[in-house]
A and B are shown apart, each in its own frame.
Chain A
């Protein structure tokens, strides 16, 4: 806790600013995200890639159960890091916003609009009394009228747009790889290979398909598509890691 100046009275209620203008509960929530598992999002002309590292806690766990990447609408997915129970609440909100946009305007919601709506909900939980912030960051990725988009929200409700981004425990390492290897004119296949290369740096032991989950949203179909383990094995081979 040495990094925070004088915690104490100002880290109890989130609606109270510390004398140097900080909200400690929000910063603690960000710590939760920093300890979460690593997920990433990449936007390119070919579409969007969302990827999550998987660490099975038991041999009997159902490997098909997805709890880090969620489908929000046909054309949008969300990758989460932090408390997955908190994330599910925000994912439910996001799904409702997506459908309500369709009912109101007869068109699929923009990724940016959706991320801002979820950010609005997160912000409420940094200002109201008797609640705590969401201990989760979310990467929203999807293809809308303006092409492939990746945005990230955090517990403060802030919202940023990225070409490629990562959150969670291994995010610093992954961001270094992304910054070094991201190219503006990448195809979707190249972007998936890049995601695999990122995980190669953070996953312990041999890189295997069951240690990650990847979803793509291609620009042409605009459909959320899960990659199978066979697909992933192919991409691992393409990345030249085995």
Chain B
């Protein structure tokens, strides 16, 4: 994956015990211009699944809107909730169809289902990679170092949140394309809670 696909942002996903945390910072930059300080790059998809993206805002919004629509159709058709894997695979199909003129997005799909809490990382061409924690975007190299060192299997939601904020703070301090605060998506079997932090 060449530099041209690396989108300016820091986006993190962490699977905790019975919960998933997705986080993205709020800066939208067009080269050296900060276009917006309130861009939202974390999205609710269903009551138990969310997605967080790095890349071109238009592409991620269109992609997630399709994911939301098809997840709803799936739930009506199958009379049960869509699994995180199925939702991720579905997005992967859309991305792969556009292989030669791709959506410029890196996506982390995360949620809680029968399999437990899982996250999947999708590159612009549609690969689906399961993981326990992940970071994408231009701040990913900084954030992943913090996650790698401090992530613990089966950490609870609060521990996970502390970890995500620490990783975010490091990335936002040193990556010029990221900043202006963080949006959080806290996904548990009871539903999704959204939080915003300014720092």
Contacts and interface: CB of A to CB of B under 8 A. Distances in A.
A105 B89 contact: yes
Interface stretch (A76-84, A106-114, A186-194): A106-114
Scoring A104, A106, A116 by chain B CB atoms within 10 A of each residue's CB, the highest score goes to: A106
A105 B90 contact: yes
A105 B80 CA distance: 14
Main SS class of interface, B: helix
Interface in B145-178: none
A20 B74 CA distance: 37
B85 A146 contact: no
Interface range for B: 10 to 19
28 contacts: A103-B93, A104-B89, A104-B90, A104-B93, A105-B74, A105-B82, A105-B83, A105-B85, A105-B86, A105-B89, A105-B90, A106-B85, A106-B86, A106-B89, A106-B128, A107-B83, A107-B85, A107-B86, A107-B89, A110-B78, A110-B80, A112-B78, A113-B77, A113-B78, A116-B77, A145-B80, A145-B114, A146-B80
Interface string A128-171: 00000000000000000110000000000000000000000000
Interface of A: 103-107, 110, 112-113, 116, 145-146
Nearest to B93: A104
A223 B139 CA distance: 46
A104 B126 CA distance: 13
Contacts of A146: 80
Interface of B: 74, 77-80, 82-83, 85-86, 89-90, 93, 114, 128
A110 B78 CA distance: 7
B82 to A, nearest CB: 8
A103 B86 CA distance: 10
A96 B53 CA distance: 33
A222 B78 CA distance: 19
A73 to B, nearest CB: 15
Contacts of B93: 103-104
Contacts of B114: 145
A103 B93 CA distance: 9
Nearest to B86: A105
Nearest to B79: A112
Nearest to A103: B93
Contacts of B77: 113, 116
Given A107-B89, A112-B79, 20 more contacts: A103-B93, A104-B90, A104-B93, A105-B83, A105-B86, A105-B89, A105-B90, A106-B86, A106-B128, A107-B83, A107-B85, A107-B86, A110-B78, A110-B80, A112-B78, A113-B77, A113-B78, A116-B77, A145-B80, A145-B114
Contacts of A112: 78-79
A116 B77 CA distance: 9
A146 B78 CA distance: 11
Contacts of A107: 83, 85-86, 89
A103 B89 CA distance: 8
Nearest to B82: A105
Contacts of B90: 104-105
B71 to A, nearest CB: 10
Nearest to B89: A106
Contacts of B80: 110, 145-146
A107 B85 CA distance: 8
A162 to B, nearest CB: 16
A38 B82 CA distance: 37
Contacts of B89: 104-107
A41 to B, nearest CB: 20
A219 B74 CA distance: 24
Nearest to A106: B89
Contacts of A116: 77
Contacts of A110: 78, 80
A112 to B, nearest CB: 7
A110 B82 CA distance: 12
